[in-house]
Amino acid sequence: MTASKRTGLVQAYTGEGKGKTTAAIGLAVRACGSGMTVSILQFLKEGGPTPSSEIAPLRDLLGVSVDQYGRSSIYTPKPSRMQVMDRIAIGFTQAERILKDGSCDLLILDEVLVAVSFGLADEQRLIELINARPDSVEIVLTGRGLTEDVSGYCDLITEMRPVKHPYASGITARKGIEY
C-alpha cells in the first residue's frame, strides 16, 4: 500500500508503566521494514551521561531520523526551565516542518505527553500539530500524562500500567533494558 492510499492514525502510549518508548521504537522498526520513512523526535531525553541505547542503531536504519529536544532536568548541570521549553519549542517547529513537507510516513513524538503535562510544551500547539498532519501520516505520542483534550484527537490509546516492577525490589534501571 502506498503512502498516498494509507490512512494515518494518531496513537498514544501512556500510563505509569514501562514500555511506552519501547512500543513506539518497535513500531518504528516495523514501519522501516515496510519501506516507510520514520521521524522520531524525542523530548526530555537530550544528552546526559547515560543516553538511551536505542539512538545509535535507529540512526543507522535507512529511512529513520532521530532528533532530541529538551534536556531532562535529571542531569547536571541542570538546564533552566526556560532553556528546556525553548528546546521543546524547536522540536515542535521541526515536527510542523516534517508534516508540512511530507518527509515521513510515521512521526513519533516521544515523551511529548510528559512535556505537555509538565507545562513545558503548549497543549494547544500539540493539538494543532495533530490537526495539521496529512491523512497518510501516522503520529505516535508517548509519555505519562495524556490529557483529556489530547486524548480526544487519538484513534488508539494504550495505557501501560505497572503490575510488578523490579524497582520495587531495589533493582535500578539497566543499560540496554530500561535505557
Give mean pLDDT, residues 20-44: 95
User: CB of 177 within 8 A of CB of 19?
Assistant: no
Cα 7 to Cα 135: distance, rounded to the nearest angstrom: 6
Cis check for the bond before 77: say yes or no (omega within 30 of 0): yes
- Domain-embedded: residue 60: yes
The pLDDT value recorded for residue 2 is 45
Full-model pTM = 0.90
Cα 14 to Cα 160: distance, rounded to the nearest angstrom: 6
- Domain-embedded: residue 175: no
Q: Tell me which of 69 and 157 has the higher pLDDT.
A: 157
The pLDDT value recorded for residue 49 is 52
Cα 86 to Cα 7: distance, rounded to the nearest angstrom: 33
Residue 65, domain CATH: 3.40.50.300
The pLDDT value recorded for residue 176 is 81
- Domain-embedded: residue 176: no
Sort 173 into a burial class: Cβ within 10 Å, 0-12 / 13-18 / 19+.
exposed
- Domain-embedded: residue 27: yes
Residues 6+ apart with CB under 8 A from 45: 51, 52, 68, 72, 110, 111
- Domain-embedded: residue 178: no
Count of structural domains within the chain: 1
- Domain-embedded: residue 78: yes
Least confident of 16-20, 55-59, 116-120, 155-159: 55-59
- Domain-embedded: residue 177: no
- Domain-embedded: residue 159: yes
Per-residue pLDDT of 118-156, as tens digits, reads 999 999 999 999 999 999 999 999 999 999 999 999 999
Taking the mean position of all CA atoms in its chain, how far away is CA 58? 14
